[in-house]
Structure 1
Amino acid sequence: MQPLLLHAHATGPNPIKIAIALEALQVPYNVKLWEFGDDREKGVKGEVFLKINENGRVPALEDPNTGVVSWESGAVMNYVRRVYDKDNLLGPKGSEQDRVDFEKWEYFLLSTLGPMTGQTNWYRHYNGTKNEDALQRYAAQTERCYGVLEGQLKKSGGQSVLPGRITAVDYHFEPWVREFDFAGLSLEKYPLITQWLRVMTGRKEVQQAYIKIQGAAPEFN
C-alpha cells in the first residue's frame, strides 16, 4: 500500500482527527503542512493548494491507491472508514439506532460544537476589531455544547461519546474539545468531559497523530 497524503496545518484541529483515524487503522500516510494565506506555493489560498481543494481549507486527503481526493473533515473521515475500516473498528454498531446515534453526534460536532468553538477562537484572538458581544455569544454557545456533550458522556462514565467503545465520533470531538483553554473556556463544570479528554490523551493513536502533525504528544492533567 502506498502512503496517503494528508494536507494539514500545524495548529488546526480538523486535520488531527483524520490523522488519529489513520493511526488507529494503521494506514500509512505522510503529512504536508500548509500555511494560512495566499502564498502561491505554501498557502491554503494559493494556486497550488486550490487545485487540491478549491475551498482552500485543510484537511484534504490524497489517496494514490484509489486516485480519490477528499476534503471537508466529515467527508474525509467517512472515506477513510469506508475504504480502510473493513472490520468496522471505528464505525457504529449494527442497528439502525446505532447508526443514527453515530451520525447525530458526528453532525453535532461538525455543525455546532466545532463551528461555535472556532468562532469563539476567532473573536478572542484574531478579529481585527474588538467585539465583546460576538465573543460572549459564541463562548456561551460553546459552553452550551459542552453541557450537551457532558450529558451524553454520562452514558459511558466519561469513557466514550457513544457507549461501549471509542469510535470515529470521539476522534471528531477530540481536537475541538482540546481547544477549550485556547478558547478561554474552562472544563471545571464538566467532570465527564475532563475524564473523557484524559482517556483520549492517553490513547496511542491520539499521541502519534499529534506527534506527526505538531511534533509533540498532547498533555492534559
Structure 2
Amino acid sequence: MTTQTKPIDVYFFPTPNGKKVTMMLEELGVPYVLHAVHIGKGDQFKPEFLAISPNNKIPAIVDPEGPGGEPIALFESGAILKYLAQKFGRFYPTDPREQAKVDEWLFWQVGGFGPMLGQNHHFALYAPEKIPYAIKRYRDETHRLYGVLDKQLKRQKEAGFDYVAGDYSIADIAILDWSNGYERQGIDIAEFPHFAEWNVRLNAREPIARASAVKLDEAGKLDLGTDKDAQSVLFNQRSL
C-alpha cells in the first residue's frame, strides 16, 4: 500500500466540492495541509492559484509525491478523488466492470447532480431577480435527480449492497455533501427513504464527521444571500 511521507496541499473553501477532498483524505488517513482560498474575496483569481487551478475554482491539490516521485497539481474534484483513490488503492475497485460502475456515478455527480443543485441554489436563494420559471426548472430537476439516486440505492439494497455503486467508493464521497443541502434545495426527505438512510449512515462515519468539522477563519464565512461584494466576485464572471 502506498504511504505518504509529505502532506498533500489542499486549496480549499468549505463548499460541497471542497469537502469532497477533505472527506477523501480523512477516509484515507493521509496527511494534508489546508490552504484557504476565500472565494468571496477573489482569492481564486490570484496568479499563484491559477497556476494550480486554471479554471479558477476550488478545490485543487498539489501532491509533492506524485507519479515518479515528482510533484503534481490537480484541479476538478472528480479528478482529484479518482487520482487519490488510484494512488492509495482504496475506495475504487480494481475490476474494470466495477470501476465502470463507480465512474458512472462519479460522473453523474460532477456532470449533473452538483451543477443542477448549484443552479437550484442560485435561482431559488441568491439571484437578485426571482424568476419563477428558472426556480421551478431547477427545483424540478433536483427532485428528479434525488429520485434517480433513491432508486439506485433501492436497487443496490435489493442486490445486497449498501452504497451507490457496490462497496463504499469515491462515488458516495462525491455525492454526499451536495446531498446534505436537501432541505434548502426544496426536497422532502420523506419522499426518498433509501437516500435518507444512506445520507444519515454516511454522515455518521468518523472520517466524514472530522472532515465536516473543518473550519476556516472568520474570513472564510460566506453569505451569498446578503454579501453583495461576494456576489459580484462569484456571479456573472466573464473571461479574464
Shared topology, TM-score over 0.5?
yes
CA contact (8 A) 1:153 1:192 kept: yes
CA contact (8 A) 2:142 2:185 kept: no
How has the CA–CA distance of structure 1 residues 212 and 151 changed in structure 2, closer, same or farther, with 3 Å as cutoff? same
Distance 2:65 2:6 in 1: 6
Partner of 1:31: 34
The offset of 1:124, in angstroms, is 1.4
Partner of 1:219: none
Deviation digits for residues 148-168 of structure 1, max 9, x if unmatched?
1111101333831123x2111
**Correspondence for 1:69 among 73, 80, 83:** 73
Partner of 2:144: 144
The aligned amino acid for 1:147 is G
Q: Given the alignment of the two structures, is residue 3 of structure 1 paired with residue 10 of structure 2, yes or no?
A: no
Partner of 2:50: 50
The offset of 1:213, in angstroms, is 4.4
Which has the higher relative contact order, 1 or 2, with Cα contacts under 8 A spaced 6 or more apart? 2
The offset of 1:207, in angstroms, is 0.7
Partner of 2:226: none
The aligned amino acid for 2:206 is K
Q: Given the alignment of the two structures, is residue 91 of structure 1 paired with residue 92 of structure 2, yes or no?
A: yes
Q: How many residues align?
A: 206
The offset of 1:139, in angstroms, is 0.9
The offset of 1:212, in angstroms, is 2.4
Partner of 1:22: 25
The structure with the largest helix share of the pair is 2
SS in 1 for 2:34: strand
How has the CA–CA distance of structure 1 residues 93 and 82 changed in structure 2, closer, same or farther, with 3 Å as cutoff? closer
Q: Given the alignment of the two structures, is residue 122 of structure 1 paired with residue 119 of structure 2, yes or no?
A: no
CA contact (8 A) 1:160 1:166 kept: yes
Partner of 2:230: none
Give the structure with higher Rg (CA): 2
**Stretch of structure 1 that moved more, 53-62 or 75-84:** 75-84
Distance 1:195 1:63 in 2: 35
Structure 1: which 5+ residue stretches go unaligned? 216-221
Partner of 1:218: none
The offset of 1:83, in angstroms, is 1.7
Distance 1:33 1:117 in 2: 24
RMSD across aligned positions (CA): 1.8
Partner of 1:162: 165
